[in-house]
A and B are shown apart, each in its own frame.
Chain A
Amino acid sequence: MGQSITVTVNGEKKTAEVEPRLLLVHFLREKLRLTGTHIGCDTTHCGACTVLVDGTPVKSCTMLAVQADGQQVTTVEALAASGTLHPVQAAFKQEHGLQCGFCTPGMMLTGVALLQEKPDPTDDEIRWALSGNICRCTGYMNIVKAVKSAAAQMKASAAVPEAATASARS
């Protein structure tokens, strides 16, 4: 009844026997104990479970673990893997883009994917990109600000890598 899958999660190859019906989010949370990915609605609406699959934001509550076989999955735990906060993480703190923190991992990953595609997005582009991620606490204003400020930070660090790394650490 189990099916063998190999998923590269945050850069590490993970092989497991899973039930075909096992949701990707449960694979990550229960099997790998990566609990930074949250479950908010079960129906793809809220985005708390957003992870990146091959770089694209995906709601892991409506994707089966077996569908991720052979793919690269990135969760929030990978964002500061090197010990330094990703500019999006630093900006969420700096701009007060989070309150209860439950939507934050999904929100940040969507932001990261957006900035990869569009390094200099407008407010409307940010709002549109984040519209599949619900936040009940912040009213989004500071989240939009955070993504924008991360964009500026990333741009600056691309220009002067060392200075930006130092300030992201502060």
Chain B
Amino acid sequence: MAVETPLKGNIGDSIKRKEDDRFIRGRGNYLDDIVLPGMLYMAIHRSPFAHARIKSINTDAAQAVPGVVAVVTGALLAQHKLAWMPTLSGDTQAVLATDKVRFQGQEVACVIATDPYVARDAAMLVEVDYDVLPAVVTPQQALQPDAPLIRDEKEGQTSNHIYHWEAGDKAKTDEAFAKADRVVKLDTFYPRCHPSPLETCGIVADVNSATGHATLYMTSQAPHAHRTLFAIVAGLPEQNIRIISPDIGGGFGNKVPIYPGYVVATAASLLIGKPVKWVEDRSENLISTGFARDFHMSGEMALRNDGRMLGLRVKLLSDNGAFYADAQPTKFKAGLFHIVTGSYDVAAAHVEADGAYTNKAPGGVAYRCSFRVTEASYLIERLVESAALEMNLDPADIRLKNFIQPEQFPYMSATGFEYDSGNYPKAMQLALDKLGYKELRKEQAEKRKKGELMGIGVASFTEVVGAGPGKHYDIAGLRMFDSAELRVHPTGKAILKLGVKSQGQGHETTFAQIVTEELGIPAADIEVQEGDTDNTPYGLGTYASRSTPVGGAATAMVSRKLRDKAKKIAAHLLEASEADIEFDHGKFFVRGSPSKSKTIQDVAFAAYTNLPDGMEAGLEGVTYYDPPNMTFPFGTYLVVVDIDRGTGQVKVRRMVAVDDCGVRINPMIVEGQLHGGLTEGFGIAFMQLITFDEEGNCLGSNFTDYLLPTAWETPKFEMGETVTPSPHHPIGAKGVGESATVGSPAAFVNAVIDAVGHLGIKNIDMPVTSDKVWTALKEAGGAE
């Protein structure tokens, strides 16, 4: 094997990940690995019903189990004003139910015991007497005038309607439709699914009753924001709360909300004076924590006969479950769904959104997605497919005809987004060439003659990520800036502390590389720390692909701040004027005489030992970065499927994914993120479904029923890239963690529709299972 020159870790270097060394040895430190002296264990008694009034709760039998220390009910929490807590969307959510249960799996009582098995045994012995009420399981049912009122405890709440929200220009859109040659419509349902990180959610709450200090180890994607919310919810002084988010076994949005279990475990630790651990089991994770999607969407597209889009009209009805707990910026009731014009130059658009309560778990988390961008991308890409099918246009051609052109950036969309940069035709052309699109179309035509079903799916997504400019984006009032603190030690090694928090994205490597690029310190010499609120600067956390756009920008800016100071020190060391000092890859030198130089390590040492007169010691700094705009990653995904007419089975033959996420810091990690996102998109398109029966029983409560893709069925991906830097990001990066999950579901479904559209099948809602395909084929007379 050839000896490789070790890479320093500049931007563009695919260095191996720093975090891997502990993970491959089984030496990660995940939440459930944490054991504190005297620690107690909590288990939750949950509602078996979707909707029921609680008549009484009897905890005697549970209390009597040896080893049980306490049983906590909503009534007890109510005494401490903790029975309800605020949600991230300005609603309230029951911590433990006091009046009614509103979804199956809702938290009713908690048992704290000396042993986890005992806690579980006793939780089963909590007796709750219920009056079962009719359950509401769809938003359409919820909005019927005679529907049972789910949130009867809310003052002034007379129906199950939560919000109405609009974006775009209705009058202008109506005009565009009046002028159109054709209107293409699509009603589609993006069903409920669940992020299901492999590690479930949990907490170890350690409240010191003597000092009042609460150390909360939590599976948190946003530890700082959680600290503030905890201070507000629990009324604890914020300086006494320390949240430590250890290694996280995947998040995907599931670990953004604050869950009742966190609050009860903290309260229990406070009341009992001992650490309390609570870790969900998989069923608890699936039935009670942040679900995603559940959007019923109706789209209409106005077009000219030549396929040029003139307008877009969308109505959507969102199923928010029993509590409106979407994790999203405050001003946007349906997240950033209004990015729904996607990659297309559409002059007029109007979006109307309504949300409804149902007897289902709350959530609406951005599952590997920047706040409902996935739903938007799915709708527009499916709608374009419908237009192509109905107007007999090639799905690639109609997209090329309507793309926002490279020279139109920055581009103001009809719903108010200013797209930063893009070159959509280039990405699509690369994807088409890589796939051999034309040849495959020929093959498809041949196969169709023989009665074989083959489809080519096209999707060209545009995301909006990196929330966001503080004046528009906040969560619970907290502006969505992010932060980086950099300390360069005297020996030239550095520690970088961030407000974001990795859940597998490789921050310890990627963010070190930004410092390497800016200061020339090798990535191996930079320790990256995150997740401990006492030891990192305040930030809003990792979700919505915001770490690189916001935290990465903060890292570049703080590095530059230090570089400016370092330059002054270098001038002092080189006995030159600061104006004559130049910097290149870790070396400061006097202009014109590069041999006269000092390394960043020399300068770092001098920052503590040999400073110019009057200069403060040290080489440290902190930056809070408020981005001027969001970033807009994009790409084209192409999928080839073959469908068995006899069984409806869809086989993904190929998938080509061309992504443009701006500048790639570590291409290996970027590609890994894309592989994972594509796989989740594949899972959502074909397998992952959380559904309910009419009584509100969750039918996806374990991995037998909630199917996740394994190595066996997951397709192999063929990757491609273009690079269109973000003009406003300090290093031109855009964020990539979610692109593939946002863009790929439509590509998979479009491939299926492309295979069967000629038979008159216009839509099959996800997950596109064999039985759905077979049924559709049978109804269309195309099954064998």
Contacts and interface: CB of A to CB of B under 8 A. Distances in A.
Interface residues of A, number: 60
B28 interface: yes
Contacts of A4: none
Interface string B658-698: 00000000001101111111111000000000000000000
A142 B675 CA distance: 9
Given A43-B702, A77-B25, A139-B678, A93 B198 contact: no
Nearest to B283: A42
B33 interface: yes
Interface in B704-720: 704, 708, 710-712, 714, 716-717
A119 to B, nearest CB: 19
A56 to B, nearest CB: 19
In this complex, the member of B283, B503, B504 whose beta carbon has the largest number of chain A beta carbons within 10 angstroms is B504
Interface string B280-303: 011100000000000000000000
A98 interface: yes
Contacts of B32: 29, 35, 38-39
B527 interface: no
Given A137-B250, A141-B675, A76 B25 contact: yes
B24 A138 contact: no
Contacts of A62: none
B703 A135 contact: no
Interface stretch (B14-22, B449-457, B570-578, B757-765): B14-22
Contacts of A89: 24-25
Interface string A18-36: 0101100010010001111
A101 B23 contact: yes
Interface string B18-54: 0111111111101011010000000000000000000
6 contacts: A75-B26, A89-B25, A99-B672, A101-B28, A130-B711, A131-B710
B326 interface: no
Interface string B225-249: 0000000000000000000000111
B196 to A, nearest CB: 7
A137 B714 CA distance: 12
B470 interface: no
Contacts of B503: 100
A99 B504 contact: yes
B252 interface: yes
In this complex, the member of B16, B283, B703 whose beta carbon has the largest number of chain A beta carbons within 10 angstroms is B703
B711 A143 contact: yes
Contacts of B506: 99
Nearest to B708: A134
B117 interface: yes
Contact of A43 (B22, B35, B282, B505): B282
Nearest to A167: B1
B197 interface: yes
A89 B707 CA distance: 28
The B interface is mostly helix, strand or loop, or mixed, namely loop
B99 interface: no
Contacts of A167: 1
A143 B116 CA distance: 34
B199 interface: yes
B220 to A, nearest CB: 14
A94 interface: yes
Contacts of A127: 711-712, 714
B249 A102 contact: yes
B676 A138 contact: yes
Contacts of B27: 36
B26 A45 contact: no
Interface in A129-163: 130-144
A131 B198 contact: no
Given A126-B711, A130-B710, A85 B252 contact: no
Interface of B: 1, 3, 16-17, 19-28, 30, 32-33, 35, 116-117, 196-200, 247-250, 252, 281-283, 503-506, 668-669, 671-680, 702-704, 708, 710-712, 714, 716-717
A108 B135 CA distance: 45
A101 B676 contact: no
A105 interface: yes
Contact of B703 (A43, A80, A100): A43
A98 B669 CA distance: 10
Contacts of A40: 198-200, 249, 282
B709 to A, nearest CB: 8
Contact of A76 (B21, B26, B703): B26
Given A136-B708, A139-B714, A141-B675, A100 B199 contact: yes
B275 to A, nearest CB: 15
A99 B117 contact: no
Nearest to B26: A36
A52 interface: no
Contacts of A94: 16
A139 B26 CA distance: 21
Contact of A35 (B16, B17, B26, B710): B26
Given A100-B199, A136-B680, A21 B117 contact: yes
A96 B26 contact: no
A23 B282 CA distance: 16
B679 A100 contact: no
A100 B504 contact: yes
A77 to B, nearest CB: 5
Contact of B24 (A35, A93, A102): A93
Nearest to B32: A39
Nearest to A21: B117
A136 B676 contact: yes
A48 B281 CA distance: 13
B25 A98 contact: no
Contacts of A76: 25-26
A37 interface: yes
Contacts of A39: 32
A79 interface: yes
A41 B282 contact: yes
B24 A98 contact: yes
A104 B717 CA distance: 21
- CB-CB nearest 3 A-B residue pairs: A36-B26, A100-B504, A101-B23
A133 B708 CA distance: 11
In this complex, the member of A33, A39, A101 whose beta carbon has the largest number of chain B beta carbons within 10 angstroms is A101
A46 interface: yes
Contact of A131 (B19, B30, B711): B711
A66 interface: no
Contacts of B702: 41-43, 45
A96 B672 contact: yes
Nearest to A76: B26
A40 B97 CA distance: 27
A140 B714 contact: yes
Nearest to A85: B24
Contacts of B30: 35, 38, 102
